[in-house]
């Protein structure tokens, strides 16, 4: 929103100067000048806000459409390509952060975890809020586990322990959080607990996109017998 306010000022200041010149040239009274100046100024602000809202809605709908198609057909290459197109047209840092998270998810599905992490590291993290910030760290911890950066992943889980615990039953994030918890059990040598949690999680969270992670974890547990 800061960028939009800057644009309003960029328009308002020159407009004020022009109005001042016109006031002097046409000898408009102060009363009439300020009356119309305030009305015009308010109109400009309202117009700018409406444009911003329309832009936000349009971007949100574009992003949701891409995600819905990805979840339906699982075509990671198409998902990556469409997000890259959107990224090329997007300047707002918050929007770019969401696109980079999407790109990371696409590369994760391709099991290109090095590129997936590179995408996440380009996210302007300070511009993330609420659930988006949790999604960012869930993704980063998962990628670290897959890259065998185990301690980094465990540290992230420790930092975000409360938030992850609060979202264990979340419809969309619960399965991903369960994956992190299973990794934590595996790499802290609690294999029987990991096996049990994996079994119950696979029954609870049936999203096809989670199956690759479940299978990978099953192999880790079986190999650690």
User: Which among 147, 79, 90 has a CA at the least distance from the CA of 122?
Assistant: 90
User: 38 and 69 share a domain?
Assistant: yes
End-to-end CA distance of the chain: 54
* pTM score, whole prediction: 0.77
User: 60 and 89 share a domain?
Assistant: no
User: 163 and 121 share a domain?
Assistant: no
Q: φ, ψ for residue 143 (rounded to 5)?
A: -65, -40
User: 68 and 83 share a domain?
Assistant: no
Residue-range definition of the domain harbouring residue 148: 137-225
User: 80 and 152 share a domain?
Assistant: no
Backbone torsion region of residue 28, taken as left when φ is above 0, otherwise alpha when ψ lies between -120 and 50, otherwise beta: beta
**pLDDT tens track, the chain, 225 positions:** 444 555 555 555 566 566 666 556 566 666 666 666 677 666 766 766 666 677 677 777 888 888 888 878 888 999 999 999 999 988 888 889 999 999 999 999 999 999 999 999 998 878 788 899 999 999 999 999 999 999 999 999 999 999 999 999 999 999 999 999 999 999 999 999 999 999 999 999 988 889 999 999 999 999 865
How many folded domains does the chain comprise?
3
Instruction: Tell me how far CA of residue 153 lies from CA of 44, 106, 160, 173, in angstroms.
Output: 48, 20, 11, 17
**Dihedral of CA 154/190/203/209: which sign?**
positive
């Amino acid at each position: 929103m800061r960028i939009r306010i800057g644009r309003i000022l960029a328009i308002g200041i020159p407009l004020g100067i022009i109005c001042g010149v016109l006031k002097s040239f046409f000898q408009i009274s102060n009363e009439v000048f300020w009356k119309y100046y305030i009305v015009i100024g308010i109109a400009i602000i309202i117009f700018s806000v409406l444009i911003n809202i329309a832009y936000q809605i349009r971007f949100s709908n574009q992003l949701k459409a891409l995600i819905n198609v990805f979840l339906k057909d699982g075509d990671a290459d198409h998902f990556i390509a469409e997000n890259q197109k959107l990224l090329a047209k997007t300047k707002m840092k918050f929007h770019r952060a969401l696109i980079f998270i999407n790109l990371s998810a696409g590369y994760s599905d391709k099991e290109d975890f090095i590129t997936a992490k590179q995408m996440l590291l380009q996210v302007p993290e300070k511009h993330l809020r609420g659930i988006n910030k949790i999604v960012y760290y869930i993704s980063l911890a998962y990628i670290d586990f897959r890259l065998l950066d185990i301690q980094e992943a465990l540290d992230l889980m420790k930092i975000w322990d409360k938030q992850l615990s609060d979202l264990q039953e979340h419809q969309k994030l619960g399965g991903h959080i369960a994956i992190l918890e299973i990794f934590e059990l595996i790499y802290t040598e609690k294999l029987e607990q990991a096996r049990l949690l994996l079994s119950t999680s696979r029954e609870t969270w049936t999203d096809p996109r989670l199956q690759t992670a479940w299978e990978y974890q099953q192999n880790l547990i079986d190999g650690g017998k």
